[in-house]
Amino acid sequence: MKNVTGYMGRRLITGILVVAPIYLTVLLILKVTASLLKVVEPVAKLFPGWLPADEILSLLLLLFLCFLVGLAMNTPIGRATWERMEHALFQRLPGYALFRSLTQQLTGHTEDTTWKPALAEIERALVPAFIIEELENGSFTVFVPSIPTPLAGDVYILPSDRVYPLDIPFTQAIRTISRWGLGSKDLVAAMKKKGERAP
Protein backbone atom coordinates (compact mmCIF):
# COMPACT_ATOMS: atom_id res chain seq x y z
CA MET A 1 0.00 0.00 0.00
CA LYS A 2 2.85 2.36 0.86
CA ASN A 3 4.53 1.66 -2.50
CA VAL A 4 1.26 2.31 -4.35
CA THR A 5 0.77 5.62 -2.51
CA GLY A 6 4.35 6.68 -3.24
CA TYR A 7 3.99 5.71 -6.91
CA MET A 8 0.73 7.65 -7.25
CA GLY A 9 2.22 10.65 -5.43
CA ARG A 10 5.24 10.78 -7.76
CA ARG A 11 3.04 10.47 -10.86
CA LEU A 12 0.78 13.24 -9.53
CA ILE A 13 3.75 15.58 -8.97
CA THR A 14 5.08 14.78 -12.45
CA GLY A 15 1.68 15.61 -13.98
CA ILE A 16 1.48 18.88 -12.05
CA LEU A 17 4.95 19.90 -13.26
CA VAL A 18 3.83 19.33 -16.86
CA VAL A 19 0.33 20.86 -16.64
CA ALA A 20 0.98 23.82 -14.30
CA PRO A 21 3.29 25.85 -16.62
CA ILE A 22 0.87 25.37 -19.54
CA TYR A 23 -2.10 26.34 -17.38
CA LEU A 24 -0.34 29.40 -15.95
CA THR A 25 0.72 30.56 -19.43
CA VAL A 26 -2.81 30.24 -20.81
CA LEU A 27 -4.25 31.92 -17.70
CA LEU A 28 -1.80 34.82 -18.02
CA ILE A 29 -2.65 35.33 -21.70
CA LEU A 30 -6.40 35.28 -20.92
CA LYS A 31 -5.96 37.78 -18.07
CA VAL A 32 -3.90 40.18 -20.15
CA THR A 33 -6.23 39.97 -23.16
CA ALA A 34 -9.21 40.54 -20.85
CA SER A 35 -7.57 43.66 -19.42
CA LEU A 36 -6.98 44.94 -22.97
CA LEU A 37 -10.65 44.54 -23.96
CA LYS A 38 -11.53 48.07 -22.82
CA VAL A 39 -8.64 49.51 -24.82
CA VAL A 40 -9.77 47.92 -28.09
CA GLU A 41 -13.53 48.26 -27.46
CA PRO A 42 -13.97 51.50 -29.51
CA VAL A 43 -12.25 49.93 -32.53
CA ALA A 44 -14.08 46.61 -32.09
CA LYS A 45 -17.44 48.38 -32.55
CA LEU A 46 -16.47 49.13 -36.14
CA PHE A 47 -16.53 45.40 -37.00
CA PRO A 48 -19.65 43.25 -37.65
CA GLY A 49 -21.46 42.02 -34.53
CA TRP A 50 -21.00 38.33 -35.40
CA LEU A 51 -17.21 38.70 -35.28
CA PRO A 52 -15.56 38.47 -31.81
CA ALA A 53 -13.49 41.53 -32.74
CA ASP A 54 -12.73 42.61 -29.16
CA GLU A 55 -11.06 39.28 -28.28
CA ILE A 56 -9.19 39.12 -31.59
CA LEU A 57 -7.97 42.72 -31.34
CA SER A 58 -6.90 42.35 -27.70
CA LEU A 59 -4.89 39.22 -28.58
CA LEU A 60 -3.30 41.03 -31.54
CA LEU A 61 -2.48 43.98 -29.29
CA LEU A 62 -0.84 41.61 -26.78
CA LEU A 63 1.25 40.04 -29.56
CA PHE A 64 2.21 43.52 -30.78
CA LEU A 65 3.30 44.51 -27.26
CA CYS A 66 5.41 41.34 -27.05
CA PHE A 67 6.95 42.27 -30.40
CA LEU A 68 7.80 45.76 -29.08
CA VAL A 69 9.42 44.24 -25.98
CA GLY A 70 11.45 41.97 -28.25
CA LEU A 71 12.57 44.99 -30.26
CA ALA A 72 13.51 46.87 -27.09
CA MET A 73 15.55 43.91 -25.86
CA ASN A 74 17.71 44.20 -28.97
CA THR A 75 18.81 47.71 -28.01
CA PRO A 76 21.56 48.50 -25.45
CA ILE A 77 19.17 50.66 -23.37
CA GLY A 78 16.46 47.96 -23.38
CA ARG A 79 18.89 45.23 -22.33
CA ALA A 80 20.39 47.40 -19.59
CA THR A 81 16.93 48.29 -18.26
CA TRP A 82 15.85 44.64 -18.24
CA GLU A 83 19.07 43.53 -16.51
CA ARG A 84 18.53 46.11 -13.76
CA MET A 85 14.91 44.99 -13.28
CA GLU A 86 15.92 41.34 -13.34
CA HIS A 87 18.71 41.84 -10.80
CA ALA A 88 16.55 43.95 -8.47
CA LEU A 89 13.37 41.88 -8.61
CA PHE A 90 13.25 38.61 -10.52
CA GLN A 91 16.56 37.12 -9.34
CA ARG A 92 15.14 37.14 -5.81
CA LEU A 93 12.32 34.79 -6.79
CA PRO A 94 13.14 31.18 -5.86
CA GLY A 95 14.02 29.10 -8.91
CA TYR A 96 13.84 32.01 -11.35
CA ALA A 97 17.52 31.93 -12.39
CA LEU A 98 17.47 28.18 -12.95
CA PHE A 99 14.30 28.16 -15.03
CA ARG A 100 15.42 31.24 -16.96
CA SER A 101 18.56 29.33 -17.89
CA LEU A 102 16.43 26.33 -18.89
CA THR A 103 14.25 28.49 -21.14
CA GLN A 104 17.29 30.07 -22.77
CA GLN A 105 18.78 26.63 -23.38
CA LEU A 106 15.55 25.50 -25.05
CA THR A 107 15.60 28.49 -27.38
CA GLY A 108 19.36 28.27 -27.98
CA HIS A 109 20.00 31.87 -26.87
CA THR A 110 22.61 31.36 -24.19
CA GLU A 111 26.25 30.56 -23.62
CA ASP A 112 25.45 29.47 -20.07
CA THR A 113 26.84 26.10 -18.96
CA THR A 114 23.86 25.43 -16.68
CA TRP A 115 21.69 22.52 -17.88
CA LYS A 116 24.57 21.11 -19.93
CA PRO A 117 23.67 17.61 -21.18
CA ALA A 118 25.65 14.78 -19.64
CA LEU A 119 25.62 11.12 -18.78
CA ALA A 120 25.91 10.39 -15.08
CA GLU A 121 27.02 7.14 -13.48
CA ILE A 122 24.33 6.13 -10.97
CA GLU A 123 24.49 2.68 -9.37
CA ARG A 124 26.86 1.29 -12.04
CA ALA A 125 24.63 2.51 -14.89
CA LEU A 126 24.72 5.55 -17.16
CA VAL A 127 21.67 7.82 -17.05
CA PRO A 128 20.86 10.99 -19.03
CA ALA A 129 21.44 14.05 -16.85
CA PHE A 130 22.06 17.78 -16.88
CA ILE A 131 24.95 19.54 -15.17
CA ILE A 132 23.52 22.33 -13.01
CA GLU A 133 26.75 23.63 -11.50
CA GLU A 134 30.35 22.74 -10.78
CA LEU A 135 31.44 22.78 -7.14
CA GLU A 136 34.73 24.19 -5.86
CA ASN A 137 36.10 20.69 -5.21
CA GLY A 138 35.51 19.66 -8.83
CA SER A 139 32.30 17.72 -8.17
CA PHE A 140 29.12 18.40 -10.13
CA THR A 141 25.54 19.03 -9.14
CA VAL A 142 23.53 17.06 -11.70
CA PHE A 143 19.82 16.83 -12.32
CA VAL A 144 18.60 13.40 -13.45
CA PRO A 145 15.17 13.80 -15.08
CA SER A 146 12.33 11.32 -14.85
CA ILE A 147 11.27 9.66 -18.08
CA PRO A 148 9.48 11.07 -20.04
CA THR A 149 9.16 14.35 -18.06
CA PRO A 150 12.34 16.45 -18.26
CA LEU A 151 11.30 18.87 -15.48
CA ALA A 152 10.79 16.24 -12.78
CA GLY A 153 13.57 14.13 -11.32
CA ASP A 154 16.34 13.91 -8.73
CA VAL A 155 19.42 15.97 -7.89
CA TYR A 156 22.80 14.34 -7.19
CA ILE A 157 26.19 15.69 -6.24
CA LEU A 158 28.72 13.46 -7.98
CA PRO A 159 32.51 13.44 -8.36
CA SER A 160 33.77 14.46 -11.78
CA ASP A 161 34.81 10.91 -12.72
CA ARG A 162 31.13 9.87 -12.60
CA VAL A 163 29.88 12.71 -14.82
CA TYR A 164 30.42 12.67 -18.60
CA PRO A 165 29.59 16.01 -20.28
CA LEU A 166 28.14 15.62 -23.78
CA ASP A 167 28.88 17.84 -26.74
CA ILE A 168 25.29 17.80 -28.03
CA PRO A 169 22.51 20.41 -28.19
CA PHE A 170 20.30 20.75 -25.15
CA THR A 171 17.21 20.09 -27.28
CA GLN A 172 18.61 16.74 -28.42
CA ALA A 173 18.97 15.56 -24.83
CA ILE A 174 15.42 16.73 -24.03
CA ARG A 175 14.10 14.90 -27.10
CA THR A 176 15.78 11.65 -26.03
CA ILE A 177 14.33 11.92 -22.53
CA SER A 178 10.81 12.72 -23.75
CA ARG A 179 10.94 9.69 -26.07
CA TRP A 180 11.65 7.21 -23.25
CA GLY A 181 15.35 7.03 -24.08
CA LEU A 182 15.07 6.54 -27.83
CA GLY A 183 18.25 8.03 -29.27
CA SER A 184 20.44 7.23 -26.26
CA LYS A 185 22.99 5.65 -28.61
CA ASP A 186 23.74 9.17 -29.87
CA LEU A 187 24.39 10.32 -26.30
CA VAL A 188 26.84 7.49 -25.72
CA ALA A 189 28.49 8.21 -29.08
CA ALA A 190 28.89 11.88 -28.13
CA MET A 191 30.59 10.81 -24.90
CA LYS A 192 33.01 8.52 -26.74
CA LYS A 193 33.89 11.26 -29.23
CA LYS A 194 35.46 13.19 -26.36
CA GLY A 195 37.78 10.27 -25.67
CA GLU A 196 35.84 9.18 -22.59
CA ARG A 197 34.76 5.59 -22.17
CA ALA A 198 31.63 4.34 -20.50
CA PRO A 199 32.29 2.60 -17.18
- Average pLDDT of the residues of the chain: 76
**Residue 140: predicted pLDDT:** 93
Q: Is 144 exposed, middle or buried (0-12, 13-18, 19+ CB in 10 A)?
A: middle
- What is the predicted pLDDT for the residue at 159? 93
How would residue 199 be classed by pLDDT, with cut points 50, 70 and 90?
very low
User: Among candidates 138, 137, 142, 141, which has minimal Cα distance to 173?
Assistant: 142
Instruction: Give the up-direction half-sphere exposure of residue 170: CA atoms within 13 A in the CB hemisphere.
Output: 20
Beta-carbon contacts of residue 64 (< 8 Å; ≥ 6 apart): none
pLDDT, tens only, 89-130? 665 655 556 566 556 555 555 555 568 899 999 988 899 999
Does 195 score more than 50 pLDDT? no
**Domain covering 116-193, topology:** SH3 type barrels. (2.30.30)
d(CA 25, CA 32): 11
Give yes or no for a contact between 164 and 191, defined as CB atoms under 8 angstroms apart.
yes
Residue 101 is predicted with a pLDDT of: 59
Q: Which pLDDT score is estimated for 141?
A: 93
| Res 163: pLDDT | 92
Q: Which residue has the higher pLDDT, 179 or 24?
A: 179
- CATH 2.30.30 residue spans of the chain: 116-193
Q: What is the pLDDT of residues 25-79, one digit of tens each?
A: 677 777 877 777 777 778 777 777 787 778 888 888 888 887 887 788 778 887 7
The helix/strand/coil state of 54 is helix
Question: CA–CA distance from 69 to each of 31, 32, 53, 59, 180 (Å)?
Answer: 18, 15, 24, 15, 37
Whether the pTM exceeds 0.75: the reply is no
- In terms of pLDDT, which residue wins out, 7 or 189? 189
- Which amino acid, 50? W
